[in-house]
Amino acid sequence: MKNLRNNLIKGFIYISLIAFGYVLTRFIEVPYFEISKTIDISYILTLVVTAWLAILITTVFEKKNNDHRVEKDLIITRVGNIYDIAASLQLESNSGRIHISEASSSLKRINTALNSIYKIVDKCHFNINVDLKDRLRLILSDIRNTLTNTPSITDEQLNSKDLPIEIKDSIIHFNKERISQLEVKFDTLKDLLLELQIDINKK
């Protein structure tokens, strides 16, 4: 509304200047030039209509662009929230232990938030790269398996004190190798989330 008011004011100024210039020429004699002293109403109306159309078209496009920018900023912020959840979960896993309910709920929040973003984007004027969505789905599935699933192990490994993953009293414990694997996978997830933000911003 503010932009519309500003454009209307500018339009009024432009039209006033045109009218002032036309009136001024009626009282000024320019050597070697002959200026008509009659007013062509149709010509004046054409100028006025053209000026108003230019103002309205500019205002409409400006509003659409602003709305589009706001939509993208809101979605990018939502992706940033997912990034924060992933970073927090990564920090917990780096400690070598995490409560199983926290791991599951955080991953569920990430998946739910991403699906929500996909639905919102479908209602907007742009699409998310399908390949990027597939890579996000795969890395999240991989993280879930690495974070919560116990791999098949031999009897010899079973007697080892350095199991890749062990669950005691609802607490998941990781060895150093599993922590390193999770570190790499979470970094990949965060990179993909940043790529998602960039992809949305370019639309």
pLDDT beyond 70 at 7: no
pLDDT confidence tier of residue 30, bands split at 50, 70 and 90? low
Q: What are phi and psi of 97, to 5 degrees?
A: -155, 145
3-class secondary-structure state, position 89: helix
Sorted by where each begins, the domain ranges of the chain are: 2-202
Q: Can you give the pTM of this predicted structure?
A: 0.67
- Among 83, 27, 107, smallest CA distance to 200 is for 83
pLDDT at residue number 10: 61
Q: What is the mean pLDDT of residues 81-94?
A: 95
Write the pLDDT tens digit of every residue in 123-156.
887 788 899 999 999 999 999 999 987 665 555 5
Write the pLDDT tens digit of every residue in 35-45.
555 555 666 66
